[in-house]
Amino acid sequence: MNIKRIGLDLAKNVFQIHAVDHHEHVVVRKSLRRAHMHAYFSQLAPCTVGIEACASSHYWARELTRMGHTVHIIPPKFVKPYLRGNKNDANDAEAICEAISRPAMRFVAVKTERQQTLQAEHRVRARVIKSRTALCNEIRGFLGEFGVVLPVGISQLRKALPEILSQQEQWDDRFMRLLCELAEELRMLDDRVAGHDRRLAEAAREDICIQRLMKIEGIGVITASAMVALLGDATQFKNGREMAAYVGLVPRQHSSGGKQQLGHISKRGDSYLRTLVIHGARSVLKTCAGKEDRRSQWLQSVVERRNRNIATVALANKNVRIAWAVMSRGEDYHGSRVAG
């Protein structure tokens, strides 16, 4: 069978295949159960396979690549314009097959198992932190009902809870038991976050790319490992600006008639990584006053000309561009030099 290109619509159990030959004639249009996937694709001659980005897409991309096929993962929003007729599995597979044939189409880089493991660690850590924040707000709300208002910050809550539990004997015993349980739950969540941080630190010690990224001011182990988990070696980007645009740190553009209009940052891409990079840039900005290196002087000038928020985003953008050079070229970052 002379197959040039296959559009593969993934599912949990039943997959849909749409294949064309070198004359763009449809030669296969069928469904395939999960148990038969390996046997079917292993007997095919190497061809191009398109997969829509979804759950298990990276797994199947790795499996099909091992069989000798060229696999492209395509974002769902780029498939939709090629969908003809009603949405169903057969039409989805046809749209994928058509979309990957476009010469200017942009694809998603296939993640390795290590990348997906790192990403899973980050996702669980973020969920635990979100639960901890909700718990802290709940404890503050309960204490406020009894006339106790604490300063802002989770560290202030940790510091005050033991004293509150030991001194408030006039409160109802049942409320005190509830408060003790909530304090214990907070401690357990703190331990879980610390455990995730230790595992990410271990991953950093084993990965030279993460170690190189950590030399950039404003990028620590959490941000560096998240960057490697999401972007790999960053070779899918032509330059640092493309990577900054992927993270959503470039201005949104709305231009027409030769008039260029730039707005706020686009906020496209992964919001988790963008948040980490911006938080890191903000921490650098807080400590740049009085320093003589070029980066600190540039930051101070941006703050004077614009404002601190714009300076923070500008530094985050610059850090992502530097990260692209470090990741794609395999080079060490030597830092900014002192002016003069």
Tens of pLDDT, residues 64-116 = 999 999 999 999 999 999 999 999 999 999 999 999 999 999 999 999 999 99
Token pair 């980490």: residue:
276
Q: Is the pLDDT of residue 338 over 50?
A: no
Q: Is the pLDDT of residue 262 over 90?
A: no
- pLDDT for res 265: 81
Nearest partner of 56 among 13, 101, 90, judged by Cα: 13
- pLDDT for res 260: 73
Q: Which pair of tokens denotes residue 176?
A: 């005190």
Distance CA(183)–CA(205), nearest Å, equals 33
Percent of the chain with pLDDT over 70: 97
3-state secondary structure at position 264: strand
Nearest partner of 73 among 54, 56, 50, 91, judged by Cα: 50
Q: Is the pLDDT of residue 258 over 80?
A: no
Distance CA(23)–CA(20), nearest Å, equals 8
- pLDDT for res 337: 42
Which residues have C-beta within 8 Å of that of residue 192, sequence separation ≥ 6? 128
Average pLDDT in the 24-28 region?
A: 95
Torsion angle (degrees, nearest 10) of CA 286, 318, 260, 239:
-170
Top CATH class of 5-99 equals alpha beta
Q: What are the sequence ranges of the domains in the chain?
A: 5-99, 113-206, 208-329
Q: Is the pLDDT of residue 339 over 60?
A: no
Which residues have C-beta within 8 Å of that of residue 334, sequence separation ≥ 6? none
From 26-30, 140-144, 251-255, the region with the lowest mean pLDDT = 251-255
- pLDDT for res 170: 73
Amino acid at 97: C
Distance CA(235)–CA(329), nearest Å, equals 8
Residue 290 pLDDT grade (very low, low, confident, very high; cuts 50, 70, 90): confident
DSSP-derived pairing of the beta strands 251-253 and 70-74:
unpaired
Q: Is the pLDDT of residue 340 over 60?
A: no
Token pair 């906020």: residue:
267
Q: Is the pLDDT of residue 256 over 80?
A: no
Token pair 């033991």: residue:
162
- pLDDT for res 119: 96
Q: What is the mean pLDDT of the chain?
A: 92
CA 204 and chain centroid, separation: 17
Q: Is the pLDDT of residue 254 over 80?
A: no
Degrees to nearest 5, angle at CA 91 with 90 and 95: 120
Which DSSP state fits 85? Answer: S
- pLDDT for res 209: 96
**Residue 120 CA: distances (Å) to CA of 123, 225, 323:** 5, 11, 22
Q: Is the pLDDT of residue 323 over 60?
A: yes
Average pLDDT in the 174-180 region?
A: 91
- pLDDT for res 168: 64
**Residue 55 CA: distances (Å) to CA of 61, 99, 147, 244, 298:** 11, 19, 48, 25, 43
Q: Which residue would you say has higher pLDDT here, 147 or 339?
A: 147
- pLDDT for res 336: 57
